[in-house]
Amino acid sequence: MAGTRRGLPADERRSVIIETVLRLAAERNPSEITTAAIAEGMGLTQGALFRHFPNKEAVFAAVVQWVGENLSERLKAASRSTEAPLDALKAMFEAHVRFVAEHPGIPKFVFSELQKGEHSVPKREVRALMAEYVAKIVLLLDKGKLSGDVDLNVDSAAAGSLFLGTLQGLTLQSMVSGTSRDMLPRADGLFAIFRRAVEKRERDGR
CATH number at residue 156: 1.10.357.10
Provide the number of structural domains found in the chain: 1
pLDDT of res. 151: 96
In a domain, 17, yes or no: no
User: Mind listing the pLDDT tens digit for each residue in 188-205?
Assistant: 999 999 999 999 876 444
pLDDT classification of 86: cutoffs 50, 70, 90: very high
Residue 137 has pLDDT above 60, yes or no: yes
Write the DSSP string, the chain.
-HHHHTT--HHHHHHHHHHHHHHHHHHS-GGG--HHHHHHHHT--HHHHHTT-SSHHHHHHHHHHHHHHHHHHHHHHHHTT-SSHHHHHHHHHHHHHHHHHH-THHHHHHHHHHT-SS--HHHHHHHHHHHHHHHHHHHHHHHHHHHTSB-TTS-HHHHHHHHHHHHHHHHHHHHHHT--TTHHHHHHHHHHHHHHHHB--GGGT-
pLDDT of res. 182: 75
pLDDT of res. 152: 96
pLDDT of res. 176: 77
The residue-averaged pLDDT of 112-132 equals 81
In a domain, 140, yes or no: yes
In a domain, 11, yes or no: no
In a domain, 108, yes or no: yes
pLDDT classification of 99: cutoffs 50, 70, 90: very high
Range of the domain at 191: 56-201
pTM of the model: 0.84
In a domain, 50, yes or no: no
Residue 144 has pLDDT above 80, yes or no: yes
- From 4-18, 51-65, 94-108, 129-143, the region with the lowest mean pLDDT: 4-18
In a domain, 144, yes or no: yes
User: Mind listing the pLDDT tens digit for each residue in 10-29?
Assistant: 778 888 999 999 999 998 89
Share of the chain above pLDDT 90, in %: 53
Who wins on pLDDT, 25 or 177? 25
- From 3-12, 67-76, 83-92, 100-109, the region with the lowest mean pLDDT: 3-12
The residue-averaged pLDDT of 90-108 equals 92
In a domain, 20, yes or no: no
In a domain, 197, yes or no: yes
Residue 163 has pLDDT above 50, yes or no: yes
